Amino acid sequence: MKQNLTRTLTRLRTTFLSFTPGQRVVAVIGTAALVLAAFMVFRWVSTPNYAPLYSNLASEDASAIVDELDSQGTPYQLANGGSTIMVPRDEVYSTRIALSGQGLPQQGADEGYSLLDNQDISTSEFQEQTDFKRAMEGELAKTIEAVDGVNTAVVHLALPPTKVFADEQDPPTASVLIDTSAGTTFDAEQVQAIVHLVAASVDGLNPDDVTVADSSGKVLSSGETGGLGASARDQQVTEFQQQKSQQIQSMLDRVLGPGNSTVQVTADLDFDKSVSESTTYGKNTKVPPLSSSISTEKYDGPAGSGGASGVVGPDGQMDSLTGGGSGSSRYTKESETSDNAVETTVEHRETAPGAVNSLHVGVVLDSAAAQNINTADVQSLIASAVGIDPQRGDTVEVTTMPFDRTADQAAAAELAAAAKAAKTEQMWQLVRNIGIAVAVLAMLLLAWLRSRRRGRLREETTTYLVEQLRNDALERAAAAAALETSPALTALEGADQVAADGLRRDLANLAERQPDDVAALLRGWLVERS
């Protein structure tokens, strides 16, 4: 084993010394690169894959967890400014169990309904109500923090005491302060989700009594404006105007082509919330009456005599009987009374914010593209498309003007130049790649031709050396057969044979390493012999 190792090292040393200086530099640099690559691969394989252990930790909890990990000898990494602790992936769950046994992390341990765990019979009513309010605030904060984009949430509840002998109670209110992640913006739907989440969690809390603000001091929702803050109202107006503008612009683009018209819409929206109640009384003829009565009175008999007597007539007056003597009198009285049910309709209507008070549209058409277009037709079409109401004060103005195409032409020129530059760059990149490919193929071809030439020279040199050695062996064999063998001569021949074998190996190695030099040397010998 030792001899083989020594022989291998000697062969490597001999091979290295036979290199030219340039080949030695390349060999050293290549060997160093291979060793460095092997070291990097080994380090990458041996480095553990880290996974988050806890995230969004308070500074106190992060410090306590780091101290505990140091005492346990567990490797860790800090991320997100120290709020996230990462450990090797295969140790995440075992480390969490070990830290839970130590009561870590402690964040949230004294928040939420856990505040009510330590109450006893000696707790006062004020302390009980205060702990209950703090518990609800903590639970609501945890719930809001579960929303995507919310880092921290603080909730404050104002719960007025219940009045025993009062018909009306003071309404509860709530305020929410949220700290969002960097680059996160809450839209109106997400804000309303937080508002209704808080309102539904507190008994008797109206969504209009919930105020939401962010950490920059911007009010996201306030009950004073019907659930829409100033920024939300501006955003709604902008969205409404953009929607109408896009509706008109898409229609004009189909008629005149893109870039031949411009539209501007100004809307006045009503964000006031109104409530109206009305009561209507009526009669339904299809419904039978509640009660009805019919009264009929008939009289058939002799007429009275004398001037003062008489009969009550249909009009309720006494008909004097002026005639004397015998006679007859007859009348009929019939009356009907019906009690009908009164139909009552009570209507309660609430007008939601966002109604359109007025809408004003201004359209400018390019005179070059609208030569055969009647502006009155366009105006009528726009009025029908967006619902213009003249009685509401809506207006539509359509006019034609020449458009300034300088910016469009400059943009088109820049786009053309950019496309030409990209095409030129692509062409040069293709030429460069083809040149590199041709150079690589040429180098491979030269290397193949050179290796083929070396192989042929090596084969010729080896064949010539073998022939020469075979001829020398035959000559020595013939000379040895002619002479009488003796022990001294045999020993001398054995030593010569060993020396010849060593020389043969050296020559073979030399022909392997430097075939060109050996070939040149042999050609010189052949020339000298000739």
Question: In a 10 Å sphere around its CB, with 0-12 CB exposed, 13-18 middle and 19+ buried, how is residue 444 labelled?
Answer: exposed
Domain boundaries along the sequence of the chain: 1-46, 50-101, 113-223, 237-273+349-403, 408-453
Token pair belonging to 259: 């870039």
Residue 280 has pLDDT above 80, yes or no: yes
One-character DSSP codes across 95-156? HHHHHHHTT---TTTTSGGGGGGG--TT--HHHHHHHHHHHHHHHHHHHHHTSTTEEEEEEE
Class of domain 50-101: alpha beta
At 320 the pLDDT is 52
For the segment 502-520, the average pLDDT, to the nearest whole number, is 71
Q: Of the segments 22-31, 50-59, 210-219, which one has the largest average pLDDT value?
A: 210-219
Q: Is pLDDT at 239 greater than 60 in this prediction?
A: yes
Q: Read off the pLDDT of residues 318-328 as tens digits, 9 standing for 90 and up.
A: 555 444 445 66
Three-state SS sequence of 191-206? HHHHHHHHHHHCCCCC
Stretch 415-424: mean pLDDT, rounded?
91
Whether the domain at 113-223 and the domain at 237-273+349-403 fall into the same CATH topology: yes
Domain at 113-223: CATH code: 3.30.300.30
Arithmetic mean of pLDDT, 438-443 = 86
pLDDT tens-digit series, residues 105-133: 765 545 666 666 666 677 777 788 888 88
The least confident of 209-213, 344-348, 361-365, 418-422 is 344-348
Window from 52-56, 176-180, 383-387 with minimum mean pLDDT: 52-56
Is 311 in contact with 304 (CB distance < 8 Å)? yes
Convert the pLDDT of each residue in 174-226 to its tens digit. Answer: 999 998 877 778 887 888 899 999 999 998 888 888 999 988 888 888 665 44
When comparing pLDDT for 215 and 330, which is higher?
Answer: 215
Structural contact between residues 236 and 354, judged by C-beta atoms closer than 8 angstroms: yes
Under CATH, domain 237-273+349-403 is a member of which superfamily?
K homology (KH) domain (3.30.300.20)
Average model confidence (pLDDT) across the chain: 79
- Residues 420/391, Cβ–Cβ less than 8 Å: no
Residue 307 — pLDDT band, cuts 50, 70, 90? Answer: very low
Give me the mean pLDDT over the 290-296 stretch. Answer: 82
**Are 267 and 356 spatial neighbours (Cβ–Cβ below 8 Å)?**
yes
Query: Which two tokens mark 192?
Result: 């309303």
State residue 176's pLDDT score: 93
Give pLDDT, residue 227.
44
Long-range contacts of 223-228 (CB under 8 A, 24+ apart): 225/271, 226/271, 226/272, 226/273, 226/353, 227/192, 227/195, 227/353, 228/188, 228/271, 228/353
Does the global pTM surpass 0.75? no
The secondary structure of 204-246, three-state, reads CCCHHHEEEEECCCCEEECHHHCCCCHHHHHHHHHHHHHHHHH
How far is 480 from 491, CA to CA, in rounded Å? 13
